[in-house]
Amino acid sequence: MSKHRIINLLRNGQPEEEVTIQGWVRTKRESKKFAFMEVNDGSSLANLQVILEPELENYKIILSQINTGASVEVTGILAESPGKGQRIELHATAVTVYGEADPETYPLQKKRHSFEFLRTLGHIRTRTNTLGAVMRIRNTCANAVHQFFQQQGFLWVHTPIITTNDCEGAGELFNVTRFNLKDVPKENGEVDYSQDFFGRQAYLTVSGQLEAEAMALTFDRVYTFGPTFRAENSNTSRHLAEFWMIEPEMAFCDLQGDMDLAEAFLKHIFKAVLDQCPEDMEFFNQRIDDSVLTTANNIINQEFERITYTRAIELLENAPKTFEYSVEWGIDLQSEHERYLCEEYFQKPVIVTDYPSAIKAFYMRLNDDEKTVGAMDVLAPKIGEIIGGSQREERFDILEKRIKEAGMTPEQLWWYLDLRRYGTVPHAGFGLGFERLIQFMTGMGNIRDVIPFPRTPENAEF
Ligand code: 4AD
Ligand code: MG
């Protein structure tokens, strides 16, 4: 038996073709003469309508078993569908029910469930239309990320997840401790969590950047795509404790080249998703946010705005509204400021450059004014910061000074300084938060709903 995916049958299946599908029942309807069931196999939003006639072996038993959520295999003959909404349907000649789902307890009812409720069902919620579409878009984006970089000769490098550095210097780290589960007392015992990583302090990485820089100084152009961890206790719709980041790093590159790459990269991914997931994108436009398709087309067709931080502050100071956080040169831009710039003032993505050194990480290249650094953040409507990047400090003496000013020691980062000792070059890169990209793409309001199993302060059950 060779099985068919429903998406392919709906696109290319021909009447009279014999096919076999496997999937999960979405709905069942019985009439006097026959019964219908809608089957979904995860390959697309659309279900395949299956017609069951009384001649089918075990008809009555099967009817009692194919409730919403049951898993089935159906062999049958395709036919043109007389009904609206689908081109073809499947007339079953054999049905196997693999696993039933008790209608009394199956948690997904036909009505619409809130996203909050669905978050309590992390193991099952991807069987809903919205979460299913999110995960397919996620897959297409991930594929487009690799395609973009591979086409341009970037090497995919795997940077460590366990690390001893705090790349962003924000101090928001998860500690890695070593203990043997067998040593954990079963009842009322104290667990010694203080054991460290074989004699040194180690953390879950917040960013693969520093290691990616080392790789870029061999391979010229590299990128990472992996999980990163932040212990910030933020319960917002844009923060996760575990998220995926894509971090390209380019040798012989300045801030201008970095911005050009970020813009071309986002355009490529949006184009790939519009080309490859038209039905899912249409769904988001209809059901979640009716500006999703216009936004995607604008990303592809319009140039992003590029302004300095100093100019951004001027625009905010002159804004015809008052912000909750007051604006003056030196502040870190808050989400309300970022949103004003890209949603109200420019109405498109904005790249803000040259932030004050005091609010940015130690590795960013100091500008000639000695007050600002060669940083760039890409701000997206409704999300705010989606990309953070910079030209890196490639001059040994200045980097060493910046490390000390940030409260670290040159000994801790000896290898990172070594890269400035041996064959240093101007280089630059950025980090894109993968989940924020998916939020931006789909219009989904909460970051917890664009990753299969979100890790947040209140949510790590699954
Ligand atoms: O701005 P960030 O902290 O930059 C870095 O980590 C750099 N080392 C990147 C680089 O230059 N290679 O994080 C980069 C992006 C942010 O713009 C945001 O999209 C995302 O990562 N991000 C988060 N996404 C979800 N949850 C969180 N807690 C996030 N923190 C950052
Ligand atoms: Mg940032």
**Confidence at residue 230, expressed as pLDDT on a 0 to 100 scale:** 95
Domain ranges, ordered by start, for the chain: 6-99, 126-170+206-449
454 pocket-lining for ligand 1 (C-beta < 6 Å): no
**Confidence at residue 169, expressed as pLDDT on a 0 to 100 scale:** 82
| Fold classified for 126-170+206-449 | BirA Bifunctional Protein; domain 2 (3.30.930)
Q: Which atom of ligand 1 is nearest to the CA of 212?
A: 12
Return the C-alpha torsion angle 358, 364, 370, 374, nearest 10: -110
Q: How far, in Å, from the CA of 388 to the mean position of ligand 1?
A: 6
Under CATH, which number does the domain 6-99 receive?
A: 2.40.50.140
Q: Which atom of ligand 1 is nearest to the CA of 167?
A: 8
Say whether 126-170+206-449 and 6-99 share the same fold.
no
**What residues contact residue 136 under an 8 Å CB cut-off, 6+ apart?**
44, 277, 280
User: Which amino acid, 7?
Assistant: I
Q: In Å, how far from its chain's centre is CA 8?
A: 26
355 pocket-lining for ligand 1 (C-beta < 6 Å): no
Among residues 36, 98, 51, which one has the least CA distance to residue 73? 98
**What residues contact residue 275 under an 8 Å CB cut-off, 6+ apart?**
none
**Confidence at residue 7, expressed as pLDDT on a 0 to 100 scale:** 96
Taking only the tens of pLDDT, the chain with its 462 residues reads 689 999 999 999 999 999 999 999 999 999 989 999 999 999 999 999 999 999 999 999 999 999 999 999 999 999 999 888 889 999 999 999 999 999 999 999 878 899 999 999 999 999 999 999 999 999 999 999 999 999 999 999 999 999 998 888 878 899 998 877 676 666 666 666 566 888 888 999 999 999 999 999 999 999 999 999 999 878 899 999 999 999 999 999 999 999 999 999 999 999 999 999 999 999 999 999 999 999 999 999 999 999 999 999 999 999 999 999 999 999 999 999 999 999 999 999 999 999 999 999 999 999 999 999 999 999 999 999 999 999 999 999 999 999 999 999 999 999 999 999 999 999 999 999 999 999 999 999 999 999 999 998 777 677
Among residues 139, 24, 69, 44, which one has the least CA distance to residue 450? 139
384 pocket-lining for ligand 1 (C-beta < 6 Å): no
